[in-house]
Every structure is written in structure tokens, then in C-alpha cells.
Amino acid sequence: MPSEEYLEGIYQIQGRDFVDAGIVSSEMKKKLKEKGIPESIIRKVAVVTFEAEVNIISYAEQGTIRYYVEPNSVTIEANDIGAGIEDLELAQQEGYSTADDSIREMGFGAGMGLANIKNHSDEFEISSVPHEGTYLRSTIYLNGK
Amino acid sequence: MTLEQIKDLLDAKVVVGDNKLDLEITTAFGADLMSDVLAFARSGCLLITGLSNPQAVRTAYALDIAAIIVCRGKALTDKFIEIAKELGIPILWTQFIMFEACGRLYREGLTGCIREVFVEDKQRAQ
């Protein structure tokens, strides 16, 4: 892929920083719009990023979200240092949540996050070590499935 | 219907987007939980919500939601208005409760952006 078409970025996210939740999703969306990526793809990327951001803010001390655009896909990688997830299968079930009131007051914590990321992804991978952190990767194809 | 008609039906104030009142809107989604908005709302719809924090605007932006109507007369912060202006999301404000707001709009022809959530579809998608 020619270098001028390559697009990537990385954002730092601070745990418990509820005021700024969603800012990475908004910023990333602006960048992808400038690149002329189809709107339906950008929406998926924005939703995945938003959910990943809220997860880091809610459950981690700090984390990063990295994204890169390749000729046929956009990939979002979320990495954090924090609580981690004890039971990955359970955490991906819709409605399962360990959110506290501060998360719910913000309008999140319904237990939809990981399931929603999965639903919007063409490729999805997650791994976690309890009390250490979580890694999540979502790839969205530019031409659909 | 247009945003202008929505404004009139709900006796609403236009907080952001005075210049976008001719926007045509045909569907809506109502929720206070942004987790559910991110999971079920569709682009181009009107978001009816009682959540008046920056996350509501950012959620709308992520999904290309056409406009937000804040119901129950919820107080709006400067930060909320500033982000809505920055992201170009029109904001209306009404004192009607969500049920009344939804009912009045539905009666005049606005429909849900999806009608139902089918458990089977979600299981298939996973």
C-alpha cells in the first residue's frame, strides 16, 4: 500500500476519566472521514472504539487504543493495564455486567459492550489476565464480509 | 417529518442547529442507556434521551444519528452544548417525559429505527 494512503494512530486513555469517554471514537471518526472511508465502515469502527474506550475507562488504570487502516480493512487494538477479565465467555454474554454506579450514571454498563464489539467486527480476538489487563483486537473489512 | 415539525410537536427549544431545521427525519430511538443506543440505534434516526452528558452527543456522532432531543427538561451543561456544536449534532430540548415525546412523534408518523430486537438474530450474529 502506498505510504500516503496508510493511516494509523494511537491514543492514551486514563482509567476513571469518565468526562472524556467517547473522545477517541469521535477523533478517530473525523480522521477516517477525511480519508474517504465509507460511512457504514466508519460507523462500525466508531462503535467498536467507543465500547473499547468505555471498557478501559471503567475497568482499567490506563490503556491505549491503536488503529490502522490497511487496503482491505480497519483494525482497532485496545490494550490496558487493569482489572482484567476472570471469565471471558461470561463477559461476552449480553447483559452480564460488573459495572458500578459511576459507569451507569454515564449511560453505560448494560453488559452489551463486548457482545456489541463482536457483532460489529469481521474478526475479533480477546485475551485477558485477571489483575493484569486485557487485550482486544477488532478488524472490520472495507468490502463487507 | 422535519426537525422543525418535531420542535413544534414537542414545544421544544432549539439549543444547537438553528440552521438545520429543514432536516428530514423518519425514524427514532429512545433510551437513556448509551450502551443500548450503541447496540440498537441506526444512522439517520432521532435520538430521544434523558441523558444530557457529553457521552450522549459522542454516541450520536459515532452512529451518524441525525439529531438529539433531550426530554424531561433535563439541565444541559455548557460542555454538552459545546461538543454538540463541535460535532454538528442538532440538539432540541423539551419538558415532555420520554413516553409523551415518543407518543406525540409516533402519532404523527415517526417510527422506530428498528421495531423489535430478536434474540435469535443476535445469537446467529455471535
**Is residue A19 very low, low, confident or very high in pLDDT (cuts 50, 70, 90)?**
confident
Q: Which residue segments constitute the domains of chain A, with CATH numbers given?
A: 9-141 (3.30.565.10)
Nearest CA in chain B to A25: B62
Domain that holds residue B45: 3-125
Q: Are strands A7-14 and A73-82 parallel, antiparallel or unpaired?
A: unpaired
| Nearest beta carbon to residue B38 from set A23, A47, A94 | A47
- Please identify among residues 35-94 of chain A the ones whose CB lies closer than 8 Å to any CB of chain B: 39-40, 43, 46-47, 49-51, 92, 94
pLDDT at B120: 61
pLDDT at A2: 44
Q: What mean pLDDT do residues A60-86 have?
A: 96
Q: CB distance B63–A112 less than 8 Å? A: no
Whether B17 shows a pLDDT value over 60: the answer reads yes
Q: Which amino acid is at A102?
A: S
Residue B98, chain A, CB below 8 Å: the answer is no
Q: Which residue has the higher pLDDT, A5 or A71?
A: A71
pLDDT at A3: 43
Determine contact, residues B59/A22, Cβ cutoff 8 Å. Answer: yes
Residues on chain B touching A98 (C-beta within 8 angstroms): none
Residue B66, chain A, CB below 8 Å: the answer is no
Whether A44 shows a pLDDT value over 70: the answer reads yes
Residue B62, chain A, CB below 8 Å: the answer is yes
pLDDT at A5: 61
Q: CB distance B62–A106 less than 8 Å? A: no
Residue A112, chain B, CB below 8 Å: the answer is yes
Residues 6+ apart with CB under 8 A from B124: none
Tens-digit pLDDT profile for residues B81-101: 999 999 999 999 999 999 999
Mean pLDDT of chain A: 93
Residue B55, chain A, CB below 8 Å: the answer is yes
Determine contact, residues B102/B113, Cβ cutoff 8 Å. Answer: no
Cell 424531561 -> residue = B72
**Is residue A143 very low, low, confident or very high in pLDDT (cuts 50, 70, 90)?**
confident
Q: CB distance A22–B125 less than 8 Å? A: no
User: How many angstroms separate the CA atoms of B37 and B32, rounded?
Assistant: 8
Residue A66: closest CA among A121, A127, A24, A124: A24
Whether B116 shows a pLDDT value over 50: the answer reads yes
CA distance A17 to chain B (A): 12
Residue B64, chain A, CB below 8 Å: the answer is yes
Tens-digit pLDDT profile for residues B36-79: 999 999 999 999 999 999 999 999 999 999 999 999 999 999 99
Count how many domains chain B has: 1
Q: Which three cell numbers stand for residue B37?
A: 443506543
Whether A63 shows a pLDDT value over 90: the answer reads yes
Q: Return the CATH number at B90.
A: 3.40.1390.20
Residues 6+ apart with CB under 8 A from A16: A57, A102
Q: CB distance A113–B35 less than 8 Å? A: yes
Helices A39-59 and B54-62 cross at an angle (nearest 10°) of 150
| Nearest beta carbon to residue B61 from set A26, A108, A116 | A26
Whether B124 shows a pLDDT value over 80: the answer reads no
CA distance B100 to chain A (A): 21
